[in-house]
Amino acid sequence: MEKETFQIIKRPGIGNKGEPIKVRANFFEVTKMQKTKIIHYDVTIKPEVPPRLNRKVFNLFSEKNQEALGGIRPVFDGTYSVKLEEGNVPVARKRPPEDFRITIRKARDIDMEGLFQFLFAKSRMTENCQMAITAMDIIISHEISAKYPTVRNSFYTPQGARSLFGGIEAWQGYYQSARPTRGKMMINIDLSATAFYEEGPLIRMVAKILDLRSPNDLRKGLSDKDRQKVEKRIKNLKIRDNHNPENKRKFKIEKLTKTPASHTTFDKDGSRIDVKTYFQNQFNKRLIYPFLPCVVVRKTVYLPLEVCDVIPEQRYMRKLDKNLTDEMMKFTRQNPNVRANKIHDGLNILNYKGNEYLKQFGMEVSRDMAVVNARILPTPTIQYHQSSREHRVRPNGGAWNLRDKKVANGATLSSWSVMVFSNYKQLPDQAIKFFVRELVNTCQDTGMNILDRDPPICRGNPIGNIEESLNKAYLNAKEKARVIKPQLILCILPNAGPELYAEIKRISETAIGVATQCIQSIHTKNPKKQYCANVCLKMNVKLGGENSFLIPEHIQFLIDDPTILMGADVTHPTATADDESPSYAALCGSMNVKASRYAASLRVQTGGTEIIIDLESMVKESLKAFYQTCGLKPKKILFYRDGVSESQFMEVLECELTAINAACRSLEANYKPNITFVVVQKRHHTRLFPIHGGDRTGNCIPGTVVDMDITHPFEFDFYLLSHAGLLGTSRPAHYRVLYDENGFDANRLQKLSYNLCYVYARCTRAVSLVPPVYYAHLAAARAKIHSPYRDTDTESSKGDKSTATTIGEVKGELRKVMYFM
């Protein structure tokens, strides 16, 4: 399939619907920048060393060669680029520091005037513009990168670090990035955080890894299981020995010995000696912990744990487990006022005003957060079943409840069973029946039709044969209802571990072909009405029902002509997964004119590939499902695409829009619906802060939209905060319209996108993303569960790599319902 060529569309104007307000954004205006050229040089430093050491080497070179450099201080990104102001600056021919050879070669001139043309919408983004923006990023980060550990655009400081678990601590970081906006450059400054190893005695870290109070608790020695746990955590950790103060050496840990220091031997002068005796004889050091293993730092170099110190400023690169993730979330979660104040703290550390490099390049940055124009869009009206006491609701504050409301189209449940993965002692039959009764009552009150109010209950072993357990539950439901295919298995799970959940979903959806609703057993003990109502919402759509929809005037674009909404997402392997781990793509397409039901298409593809390789056939499946459900061919396609970075916009647009067009032509030669292609981004660092008012959490009110001041100089984009914040500072979604054949103006697309956020089927809250994208995200995660190859942080969970390019196919009737909810 040959790629078609497209251009990203320009903004059709700014919106004016809603209540105008002012908000602050974490952008700081570049009030002064040079207009003359910047010269880009390529720098090679031999031997190769990490970027931070590269910077130190280059800074030393710069300091010692100021005369040769004409008194100019170049800036360096630590890998290959050096930026010098315009001028015929000679390259020093003096010999560089003894251990390093530096080669500098002029690469190009960067014309800053081209950047100004772009900012004022007089030219499109060019390579020169991109280089100018990159140059500004390097200028603002050069000085700070030499002082603090830096990861891409963020630097981290140990001030205010918080200890987590197992010798890991959370460090506060600050993100900074030069951003082009309408008529000006701005610096986006935000908070970030990452995990570091705690510096200090290695033996203290070992005690923390094993969840012990102090190293004294290690006196029993290490079991084989404990030793493996410690070895896994500290492998590749950099340490310094401390037994010889005059000669402290640095090492990287390869592994732990299987024997303690008192029994770990090596050859010395032709005879064997153990590590404990060697340290006593050689260094007059009596080991306190000779019963603990040694670290292996070279083939036959063994160091007792107690003579090792963890070198500071080492990032923890492994995937965080659930406990560490929860603690990291608590560390990073700050309400808007605290976050805004901390951003100003970061501004003080960055000290743009006193930065010699910024002065040299003629750059000045405002200390004031940008005040930007925004609007609060009107809240839509949600429609429930006509028999509801309250069949229309206009939510307040982005949330409502199901009291006095019945779902728009309640499903009938006549054949189901309950599978309990707990024993009688943990969860008696009486408690299960009480919960089921409460759930059934809630489902009935909410508009579902539960014909079997007393489903059969059976039990399974959570670490046993899950397929056997589910088949037993399936047969029980089948026998009681006397049907060919039961509709649902309600699974009650112990309260920990995602593995059981994943296995239930994989088997039920790809092997048996039945919907499942999983709940944690803790919720059965004292079932709350709101919890049961949320479970009911999920059950209803899994059985083919519809929970709610918007009144026609709030989805006019969908009503005018048959329109299909599509959401697409790709889930990539984690950073700790191996190179063979695949990526999973999902497309969710609406199945009716009201966009209240969706069907998912799932694919597996080469790991790290962002383009959806098989999109043509996935779009075809979605278009067929729409036609089969409502008998209409969509005349319009509104395609929301998640997870694409700016650098990939053109490639994704050209490949995927070509695929969408090809899918339409493959159904009918002359079938050409109008397509709008919108990228939705959540992984960005823009935050909005209310100046007056705000909601009860201090965040901006749901419906806040910004389409000027901090947006693209001329392309069609806007920030939309559609949800009510619960904890921390809410992140708006960034909508980037790449292509539009439907003639959207800013008002229509902003209002439609906001209104859709009120009909996410799983809850009675406005959500932060349009539902098709949210569903695609859930479906892509489900595709990963369906794969026999699921990358995790443990070797034992790796599947058969030969099957990494396949996923289990979802069984027949399930494909027509929202089983992935």
Q: Are 383 and 755 in contact (CB under 8 A)?
A: no
Q: What are the tokens at 440?
A: 């059934």
Statement: residue 819 has pLDDT above 90: yes
Q: Would residue 614 count as lying in a domain?
A: yes
Same domain, 656 and 739: yes
Neighbours of 809 (CB within 10 A): 11
Q: Give pLDDT, residue 790.
A: 56
Q: Into how many domains does the chain fold?
A: 3
Same domain, 785 and 718: yes
- Domain endpoint, select from 310, 328, 362: 310
Distance CA 363, CA 31 (A): 8
Q: Give pLDDT, residue 74.
A: 86
Q: Is the link from the previous residue into 47 a cis peptide, with omega within 30 of 0?
A: yes
Same domain, 513 and 537: yes
Domain containing residue 658: CATH number: 3.30.420.10
Same domain, 496 and 641: no
Same domain, 560 and 533: no
Statement: residue 577 has pLDDT above 90: no
Q: Give pLDDT, residue 743.
A: 97
pLDDT in tens, 47-101: 887 777 788 888 888 888 888 787 888 887 776 544 444 433 333 333 334 578 8
Using a 10 angstrom Cβ sphere, with 0-12 exposed, 13-18 middle and 19 or more buried, the burial of residue 45 is buried
- Domain endpoint, select from 292, 310, 328: 310
Neighbours of 318 (CB within 10 A): 17
Q: Give pLDDT, residue 503.
A: 95
Domain containing residue 223: CATH number: 2.170.260.10
Distance CA 756, CA 767 (A): 9
Statement: residue 799 has pLDDT above 60: no
Q: Give pLDDT, residue 672.
A: 97
Statement: residue 796 has pLDDT above 50: no
Percent of the chain with pLDDT over 70: 95
Statement: residue 161 has pLDDT above 50: yes
Q: What are phi and psi of 712, to 5 degrees?
A: -60, 150
Q: Are 13 and 750 in contact (CB under 8 A)?
A: no
Same domain, 489 and 615: no
Q: Would residue 798 count as lying in a domain?
A: no
Same domain, 602 and 501: no
Q: What share of the chain is helix, strand, coil (3-state, %, to 5)?
A: 30, 25, 40
Same domain, 521 and 592: no
Q: Would residue 292 count as lying in a domain?
A: yes
Q: Would residue 186 count as lying in a domain?
A: no
Of the listed ranges 424-428, 449-453, 577-581, 809-813, the one predicted with least confidence = 577-581
**Mean pLDDT score, 247-259:** 94
What is the extent of the structural domain holding 443? 410-543
- What integer best gives the mean pLDDT of the chain? 92
Same domain, 666 and 784: yes
Q: Would residue 403 count as lying in a domain?
A: no
Same domain, 690 and 635: yes
Q: Give pLDDT, residue 312.
A: 96
- Domain endpoint, select from 255, 285, 310: 310
**Mean pLDDT score, 663-685:** 97
Q: Would residue 417 count as lying in a domain?
A: yes
DSSP 549-568: EE-GGGSHHHHHS-EEEEEE
Q: Give pLDDT, residue 789.
A: 63
Distance CA 55, CA 61 (A): 10
Domain containing residue 537: CATH number: 3.40.50.2300
Same domain, 612 and 731: yes
Q: Would residue 230 count as lying in a domain?
A: yes
Statement: residue 434 has pLDDT above 80: yes
Distance CA 148, CA 583 (A): 34
pLDDT in tens, 103-116: 889 999 999 999 99
> What are the residue ranges of helices labelled H in 465-552?
466-481, 498-507, 522-525, 529-542
Same domain, 733 and 808: yes
Distance CA 437, CA 510 (A): 30
Q: What are the tokens at 38?
A: 């910047």
Q: Would residue 295 count as lying in a domain?
A: yes
pLDDT in tens, 583-628: 999 999 999 999 999 999 999 999 999 999 999 999 999 999 999 9
Statement: residue 737 has pLDDT above 50: yes
